[in-house]
C-alpha cells in the first residue's frame, strides 16, 4: 500500500520546490538527452516536476507520469493543461494524455498508474526523473533501480537532514527525534531511507559506473510564508507526537509556540534537500 499525498499539499509546496531545485543539474541533464527525449517521472504526483523541467529541456519531448494514485494523475493532466493554456500553448486533450504545442516543439504528456513497489516501467525511456520521492524508498529499492538503469537519472529534492527551525526552541529535539523516526517508516517501498537517500543513491549508481553529481536544493521558507510554515509545524508535531507519545505534552507546547511565531512572522524554516544527477557510463 503506497503512502497517500494530498493534492493541496503538493500545490502548496510547488513554488518552494521550483525555487529550490538545481537548474544547473537540469541543464546538464537536458544536454545529455537526444533530440526528442522520452522522460519517465517516477512518483509524479500532480506534475510539478514536468512544469519545472520541460521548459529547461526546451525542445520536443514525451513524458510519462507514473504514480500509484490515479486521482493525483488525473489532477496532473488538469493542472498541466491549465498551466499550458495560461502560457498560450495550444492543448490537445486525448483523455489520458495531452499534447502541448509550444514554441519549443510539441510536449506530449501521458500518465501511467503504477505501484513502484512492483513495477518501475523503465523500458523505452531516455531519462528517468523524480522529485521528493527517494527519501520514501528503501536502500534495496535504489539498488534494484541502479541495476536496471541505463539512462540518465535526475533525482530532485531528496531530504538530507539539514533541517532548522529558527529561532531555536527547547522542544526542537524531541520533535526532530520523532520526525526522524517517522521518516524511516515503511511507506510501501520498504524501510524508508529518509535523509540517507542522497548518499545511498550516490553509492549505488557510482558502483554501476554512473557519474553522479549533486547540489543542495534546500527549501528556505521565510517568515512571510505563513501557510507553508504552519503546515510544516503541524505536520512535524503530528508525526512526532505519534512516534513519541510520552512527549506529547512538550510537543503540543512546541506546536502552540511555533504557530504563535508564524502569526507574528517570527519563524523561518530551512529543510535540507539534495538534487542528484547520474549519467550512465559511455
Ligand X SMILES: C[S@@+](CC[C@H](N)C(=O)[O-])C[C@H]1O[C@@H](n2cnc3c(N)ncnc32)[C@H](O)[C@@H]1O
Residues engaged in binding ligand X (CB under 6 A): 2-3, 5, 10, 17, 43-45, 48-49, 67-69, 72, 114-117, 131-133, 136, 188-189
CA distances from 87 to 26, 80, 131, 134, 189 (A): 21, 11, 23, 31, 37
CA distances from 15 to 185, 218, 220 (A): 27, 13, 11
**Smallest gap, in angstroms, from Cβ of residue 46 to ligand X?**
6
Query: Minimal CA–CA distance to 16: which of 225, 238, 171, 242?
Result: 225
Concatenate the DSSP letters of all residues of 129-167 into one string.
EEES-GGGS-HHHHHHHHHH--S-EEEEEEE-S--EEES
**Dist. CA 163–CA 90, nearest whole Å:** 41
**Smallest gap, in angstroms, from Cβ of residue 282 to ligand X?**
29
**Smallest gap, in angstroms, from Cβ of residue 166 to ligand X?**
24
Query: Minimal CA–CA distance to 112: which of 102, 100, 124, 103?
Result: 124
Of 182 and 261, which CB lies nearer to ligand X in the complex structure? 182
Of 129 and 251, which CB lies nearer to ligand X in the complex structure? 129
Of 43 and 198, which CB lies nearer to ligand X in the complex structure? 43
Of 11 and 259, which CB lies nearer to ligand X in the complex structure? 11
**Smallest gap, in angstroms, from Cβ of residue 200 to ligand X?**
17
**Smallest gap, in angstroms, from Cβ of residue 49 to ligand X?**
5
Of 39 and 171, which CB lies nearer to ligand X in the complex structure? 39
Query: Minimal CA–CA distance to 280: which of 179, 222, 178, 209?
Result: 209
Of 66 and 233, which CB lies nearer to ligand X in the complex structure? 66
CA distances from 228 to 12, 36, 43, 235, 259 (A): 7, 37, 22, 10, 11
**Smallest gap, in angstroms, from Cβ of residue 136 to ligand X?**
6
**Dist. CA 64–CA 50, nearest whole Å:** 10
255's grid cell: 506546536
Of 145 and 189, which CB lies nearer to ligand X in the complex structure? 189
**Smallest gap, in angstroms, from Cβ of residue 201 to ligand X?**
16
**Dist. CA 181–CA 177, nearest whole Å:** 6
Amino acid at each position: 500500500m503506497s503512502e497517500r499525498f494530498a493534492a493541496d499539499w503538493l500545490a502548496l509546496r510547488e513554488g518552494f520546490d521550483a525555487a529550490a531545485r538545481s537548474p544547473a543539474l537540469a541543464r546538464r541533464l537536458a544536454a545529455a538527452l537526444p533530440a526528442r527525449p522520452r522522460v519517465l517521472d517516477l512518483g509524479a504526483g500532480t506534475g510539478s516536476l514536468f512544469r519545472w523541467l520541460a521548459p529547461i529541456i526546451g525542445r520536443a519531448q514525451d513524458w510519462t507520469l507514473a504514480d500509484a494514485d490515479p486521482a493525483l494523475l488525473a489532477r496532473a493532466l488538469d493542472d498541466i493543461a491549465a498551466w499550458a493554456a495560461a502560457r498560450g500553448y495550444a492543448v490537445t486533450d486525448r483523455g489520458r494524455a495531452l499534447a502541448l504545442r509550444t514554441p519549443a516543439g510539441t510536449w506530449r504528456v501521458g500518465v501511467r498508474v503504477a505501484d513502484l513497489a512492483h513495477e518501475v516501467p523503465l523500458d523505452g525511456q531516455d531519462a528517468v526523473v523524480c522529485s521528493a520521492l527517494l527519501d520514501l524508498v528503501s536502500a534495496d529499492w535504489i539498488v534494484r533501480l541502479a541495476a536496471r538503469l541505463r539512462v540518465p537519472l535526475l533525482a530532485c529534492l531528496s531530504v538530507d537532514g539539514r533541517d532548522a527551525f529558527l529561532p531555536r526552541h527547547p522542544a526542537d529535539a524531541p520533535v526532530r527525534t520523532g520526525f526522524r523516526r517517522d521518516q524511516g517508516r515503511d511507506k510501501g517501498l520498504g524501510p524508508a531511507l529518509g535523509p540517507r537517500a542522497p548518499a545511498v543513491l550516490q553509492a549505488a549508481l557510482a558502483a554501476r559506473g554512473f557519474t553522479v553529481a549533486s547540489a543542495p536544493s534546500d527549501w528556505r521558507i521565510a517568515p512571510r510564508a505563513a501557510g507553508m510554515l504552519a503546515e510544516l509545524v503541524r505536520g512535524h508535531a503530528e508525526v512526532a507526537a505519534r512516534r513519541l507519545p510520552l512527549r506529547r505534552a512538550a510537543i503540543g507546547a512546541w506546536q502552540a509556540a511555533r504557530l504563535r511565531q508564524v502569526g507574528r512572522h517570527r519563524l523561518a524554516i530551512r529543510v535540507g534537500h539534495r538534487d542528484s544527477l547520474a549519467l550512465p557510463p559511455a
